[in-house]
Every structure is written in C-alpha cells, then in structure tokens.
C-alpha cells in the first residue's frame, strides 16, 4: 500500500525535500530561540469577535484599507495573504506555466521561492549574488531572462541580512519590463525602512512587493502577510487565492496591530532590536572563535565561525537554538543568529566566550 501511495504521488513531489522550517527542525527543548527571526517579545491582543459561524470576507475591506494606509498605497494595490509565504505561492500559481516557464532567485536566499516552484513543476534558474558584497549579478540576470516570469529578490536578504542597491533594483525593473515581474520580498523591511521600494510601485508596473506581520509586528503566530502591486496584478492574484484565506480572529488581531499606537510600539521594538544588534555585533567581533560577522540590516546577523559545527551543537545542547547555514551557496561555516532580548544575547555571548577560552584557533 505504501508503495502505491508513492506511485500515486506526482514525480516532482516524490523528489521534493520539504522546507526545513525552524519549527520542523526542532529545538523544542531550547530555552533561547534565535533560529526563526521572530520577535523575542510578544504583544498581547484580545480577540474582539465572539461569533465564528459565518465565513470571513475573502479580502476584508477594513484590513486592506488599514494596510494600504500604513504603506501609503491605494486599496486596489493590496492583497492580504496567509503570511508572505502564501504570496510567493500565489504568484507562481498565477503567472507560471508548469513545465514551460521559469523563476529566478539569487542564492544564498530564502528557500521558499525554489520550493514553491518545485512543487508547481516550474523551472528554476539560480543566479547567485556576488560573493562578499551580496549584490545582484545584473549581467547574468539579463542573459538568463528567457522564459522567466518571476524574479524573486529578498531585501533585506535572508540569511545574509544584506541590502541590494536601489539603483540595481531599478535597473532590474527596467531590463525586465514587459518580460518578467520583479518580486521584492520585504519581510524584514521595517528594520531598514528607507530601503523599501513601495514608492516605486506607481511608475513600475512589473514591481511586486511582499510584506508580513510575522517579523517587526511580532505576529508570526497569526500568519498574515500582504502583496503590494499594481491593480491588474492584485486582480489576477485574487483569481487564484482560496475563498476564505484569512480567518476571523486573524483579521481582528491584524487590524488592531495596524492602529497608530501599535505601529508606534512596533517602531520602538525595532529601535530596541537594532540597538541590541549593534551590541551583539560588537561583542561577537571580540570573540576568537568568530571568523567574520557580516554587516546586518535586519533582526538577525550572519556569522562565520571557526569550528562552526561544534559551536552550533554545543549551543543547541545548552538550549540556545541557532540556524545553521553551512549548506547554502557561498555560506560555508556560517550560522544565522536572530536578535533576541539583551538577556538572551548576553547568555549567547557568555557561552561563546566559554567555548573560545577552552579552544585554540
């Protein structure tokens, strides 16, 4: 019977290695979770709705309007989704012909662009960013646009935490106009708000932006994200989205989080996270098992270690859970560390110092 089930499964799904999310990899015993770029601080909300017998609206007007207000766009330029992950998937569903079209992404980057394309049977083209600067390889991108419908660019990039130059993004939009959509994943943009491309939406019909409440808004648990794009693109995505993607309690909480006071609180948490990051980077730079700390622009920092494997394991055993990046393109010996509270960072530094003292490099 098991064999039959495998035979029934689509070929590409048989071969697929699913996304290794922080929660899937484990670390449940951990006490300090620095592996999923979540907010270390929780914000409490009370659900105001008491009755759930009716389906919610597919695209709740009040939520769309609140987010449109937050990003200074019109309601017609906003789609609400089950996290930014659903946005990545819907774009492939709506724009890519399986077996014919392709997507481009620029590793090392977020894995879900590749995985969604593989699930859909859509071809992938990897154009790595330039080593060390992590900037776009525009020459190779231009040479590889054949059959490409979507180009995913993560900015700030996960896991490098680097920023792509705005002039390069604008050039990419120019050379792809009429051929491909450029999808800029701004999941972490609140940590580097000046880098946002939302103001370019009005002049660039092939620009799509992904957003989420999972990071700076501290709401990873409710699963709520947004796609920002011109009206025609939003209408197209509305054709393929499921009938009731956002549950009533999620709409309720997301709406509250977008009120002025809560946005101010979010911005204060971002300031805190950014100052914790400066402290952590400074401390890391003084530790001898650290080979390199990469410049960070978000709520995580990429670090290259001497003896990265032992460090990762020792910290794991102590309940400090980080994200190993060694298998990714150009990231040998690298570990990604989410910015936690100052207390969590202190604990991490204490353990790294202890490790350095007992080992010589």
Q: Give the pair of three-digit tokens for residue 222.
A: 């409710």
Residue 87 Cβ vs ligand PMP, minimum distance, rounded to whole Å: 8
Residue 76 Cβ vs ligand PMP, minimum distance, rounded to whole Å: 22
> How many whole angstroms from its chain centre is CA 170?
21
Residue 321 Cβ vs ligand PMP, minimum distance, rounded to whole Å: 15
Q: Give the pair of three-digit tokens for residue 182.
A: 């450029």
C-beta of 277 vs 289, nearer to ligand PMP: 277
Convert 213-268 into a string of H (helix), E (strand) and C (coil). Answer: CCCCCCCHHHCCEEEECCHHHHHHHHHHCCCCCCCHHHHHHHHHHCCHHHHHHHHH
Q: Give the pair of three-digit tokens for residue 264.
A: 């101010």
Q: What's the CA gap between 337 and 63, in Å, rounded?
A: 32
Q: List, in sequence order, every residue forming a beta bridge with 212; answer none if it has no partner.
A: 225
C-beta of 152 vs 312, nearer to ligand PMP: 152
H helices, E strands: number in the chain: 13, 13
CB 339 within 8 A of CB 301: yes
Residue 156 Cβ vs ligand PMP, minimum distance, rounded to whole Å: 8
C-beta of 37 vs 325, nearer to ligand PMP: 37
The C-alpha angle with vertex 28 and arms to 25 and 34, in degrees rounded to 5, equals: 75
Residue 185 Cβ vs ligand PMP, minimum distance, rounded to whole Å: 5
Residue 332 Cβ vs ligand PMP, minimum distance, rounded to whole Å: 21
C-beta of 180 vs 214, nearer to ligand PMP: 214
**Which chain residues interact with ligand PMP by CB under 6 A?**
37, 83-85, 110, 154, 158, 185, 187, 212, 214, 220, 225
In the numeric block, the tokens 């491909």 are attached to 180
Residue nearest ligand PMP by beta-carbon distance: 83
C-beta of 141 vs 224, nearer to ligand PMP: 224
CB 102 within 8 A of CB 123: yes
C-beta of 96 vs 187, nearer to ligand PMP: 187
């Amino acid at each position: 019977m098991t064999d039959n089930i495998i035979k029934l499964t689509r070929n590409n799904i048989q071969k697929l290695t699913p996304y290794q999310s922080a929660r899937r990899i484990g670390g449940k015993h951990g006490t300090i979770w620095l592996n999923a770029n979540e907010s270390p601080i929780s914000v409490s909300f009370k659900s105001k709705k008491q009755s759930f017998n009716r389906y919610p609206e597919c695209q709740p007007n009040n939520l769309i309007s609140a987010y449109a207000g937050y990003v200074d766009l019109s309601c017609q330029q906003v789609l609400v989704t089950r996290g930014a992950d659903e946005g990545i998937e819907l774009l492939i569903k709506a724009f890519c012909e399986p077996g014919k079209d392709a997507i481009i992404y620029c590793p090392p980057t977020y894995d879900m662009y590749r995985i969604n394309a593989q699930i859909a049977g859509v071809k992938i083209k990897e154009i790595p960013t330039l080593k060390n600067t992590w900037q776009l390889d525009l020459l190779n991108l231009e040479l590889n646009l054949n059959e490409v419908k979507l180009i995913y660019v993560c900015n700030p990039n996960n896991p490098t935490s680097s920023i792509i130059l705005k002039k390069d993004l604008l050039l990419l939009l120019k050379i792809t106009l009429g051929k491909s959509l450029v999808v800029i994943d701004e999941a972490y943009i609140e940590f580097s708000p000046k880098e946002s491309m939302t103001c370019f939406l009005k002049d660039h019909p092939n620009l799509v932006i992904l957003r989420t409440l999972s990071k700076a808004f501290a709401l990873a648990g409710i699963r709520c994200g947004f796609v920002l794009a011109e009206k025609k693109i939003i209408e197209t995505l509305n054709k393929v989205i499921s009938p009731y993607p956002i549950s009533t309690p999620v709409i309720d909480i997301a709406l509250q989080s977008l009120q002025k006071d809560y946005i101010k609180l979010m911005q204060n948490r971002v300031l805190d996270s950014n100052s914790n990051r400066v402290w952590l980077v400074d401390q890391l730079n003084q530790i001898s098992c650290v080979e390199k700390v990469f410049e960070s622009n978000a709520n995580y920092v990429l670090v290259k270690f001497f003896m990265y494997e032992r460090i990762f394991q020792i910290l794991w055993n102590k309940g400090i859970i980080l994200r190993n990046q060694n298998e990714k393109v150009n990231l040998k010996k690298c570990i990604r560390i989410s910015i936690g509270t100052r207390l969590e960072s202190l604990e991490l530094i204490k353990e790294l110092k202890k490790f350095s003292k007992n080992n010589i490099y």
